[in-house]
Amino acid sequence: MSDQYTMQDPTTQYPGPDESFEQQQEGPGLQGEMAPKPDSGESSYRGSGRLEGRRAVVTGADSGIGRATAIAYAREGADVVLSYLPQEEPDAREVVELIEAAGRRAVAVPGDVTDKAYCEQLIATAVAELGGIDILANIAGKQQHCPDILELTDEQFDETYKTNVYAMFWLCKAAVPHLPPGSAIINTSSIQGYQPAPILLDYASTKYAINGFSKSLAAQLAPKGIRVNVVAPGPVWTPLQVVGGQPAEKLPEFGASEAPLGRPGQPAEMAPAYVFLASQESSYVSGETLAATGGMPTP
């Protein structure tokens, strides 16, 4: 079992991809049905009181990077409101149990972030249940590959932008009136926000938008003592990739050739970045994008 505490060679910390990575599920997909199973730090993440008493909202909290972040936040001492799609209830139940096992409150609020009313209700529920919000981690995202602009439908373009960009706007807008000085917003870009793949036209462009939005909002909210930052993951083994994020036949090489570290990342390797940017340790960091890309360079 790997962890983030034992010094070791990062190129071999987790296995590289192989034929077993070739698998497909219907969207949004379940982490519980993936094999090999992503590591979201379920049995490894150790907290050290860095988010004691904080109240966090995490979208996409059922699986992948959001799941790893929700687990880490709880083990660092935060209560967590979890957003995810109703079809993801089996994954979300496990996260609720892990948060409760850490002695923290988990408030599950399933719904669709492409619906503005749901985004507003998610924030209102967090305020009502936890008494306020100190951390908003926007991690939900949609990625569907499409090789040709002529085949990219208006419906997909709209849904990708609604999920990745509009939901972030709606959630930030609803949360800001409730965010005290010292609170943090963390959005999720990607290596695709710097090196756009030709098959990810809609997705990659949302990830550029997320970076720009976050840098502007960071400057706007700085006088209020609210910090806004971004995490930009590289190729990470999550459900997103097996529901059409990548062509199925590419999965046996996922992360191997493009990342200098020679393997895909695991969600557990992303969570520490979300913890750092949420905690007071990053008090002088705002408008930054922290890349965790397996060595793929960003500007």
62 binds ligand NAD (CB under 6 A): yes
88 binds ligand NAD (CB under 6 A): yes
246 binds ligand NAD (CB under 6 A): no
- The site partner of 142 among Mg ion, ligand NAD, none (C-beta below 5 to 8 Å per kind) is ligand NAD
Q: Which strands form 289-292's sheet, in the order they lie side by side?
A: 106-110, 79-84, 55-59, 135-137, 184-188, 227-233, 289-292
160 binds ligand NAD (CB under 6 A): no
The structure tokens 């083990």 sit at 75
Please say whether the beta carbons of 213 and 189 come within 8 A.
no
62 binds Mg ion (CB under 5 A): yes
Q: Which two tokens stand for residue 57?
A: 């909202």
- Element at 158 (helix H, strand E): helix 154-161
Query: Which residues, 6+ apart, have CB-to-CB distance to 13 below 8 Å?
Result: 2
Span of 39-47, 85-93, 193-201, 274-282 interacting with Mg ion by CB under 5 A: 85-93
Q: What angle do CA 51, 14, 231 make, to 5 degrees?
A: 40
Cα 156 vs. chain centroid, distance in angstroms?
20
112 binds ligand NAD (CB under 6 A): yes
Residue 58 or 218: the one with the smaller Cβ distance to ligand NAD is: 58
66 binds ligand NAD (CB under 6 A): yes
Helix axis angle, 167-175 to 116-130, nearest 10°? 30
39 binds ligand NAD (CB under 6 A): no
Q: Which of the following is catalytic: 45, 194, 203, 274?
A: 203
Residue 221 or 273: the one with the smaller Cβ distance to ligand NAD is: 273
From candidates 44, 163, 211, 214, binder to ligand NAD by CB under 6 A: 163
From candidates 39, 76, 79, 88, binder to Mg ion by CB under 5 A: 88
Is 161 among the catalytic positions? no
Question: What is the CB neighbour count within 10 angstroms for residue 181?
Answer: 9
Shortest-Cβ-distance residue relative to Mg ion: 63
94 binds ligand NAD (CB under 6 A): no
| Rounded distance between C-alpha atoms, residue 98 and residue 8, angstroms | 27
Residue 53 or 201: the one with the smaller Cβ distance to ligand NAD is: 201
Specify whether the backbone of 27 is left (phi greater than 0), alpha (psi in -120 to 50) or beta: beta
In angstroms, give the least distance from the CB of 124 to ligand NAD. 16
Q: Which residues are catalytic?
A: 203
Chain positions contacting Mg ion, by CB under 5 A: 62-63, 88, 239
Chain positions contacting ligand NAD, by CB under 6 A: 28-29, 60, 62-66, 84-85, 88, 112-114, 139-143, 163, 188, 190, 233, 235-236, 238-241, 267
